[in-house]
Amino acid sequence: MGSQNNKTASTGEALSAESAAQIKWNRIVLSPVDPFYDFYMRYGSMKNALELHKKLNQQKRDSNQP
């Protein structure tokens, strides 16, 4: 477990200490092969990741309408 990388995410935006800690925790606990990993990295929480995922899927569905 000790070999995991726990640098905080470099999102390029200012993060509150709380969300930085959340992202750091996510990096430690979540596996990088998790399909949501990139979402966690960027948005710092499962809820935000799922919201975005739903939105993206909805856009995809909308743009696939004939």
Overall number of domains in the chain: 1
The model's pTM is 0.30
Give the contacts of 39 (CB within 8 A, at least 6 positions apart): 48, 49, 52, 53
Residue 22 belongs to domain spanning: 17-63
Residue 33 lies in a domain: yes
pLDDT tens-digit readout, 2-38: 444 445 444 444 556 677 777 666 666 655 566 666 6
Residue 30 lies in a domain: yes
Residue 32 lies in a domain: yes
At 52 the pLDDT is 77
Residue 4 lies in a domain: no
Largest CA distance in the chain: 51
Cα 51 to Cα 42: distance, rounded to the nearest angstrom? 13
Cα 20 to Cα 24: distance, rounded to the nearest angstrom? 6
Residue 37 lies in a domain: yes
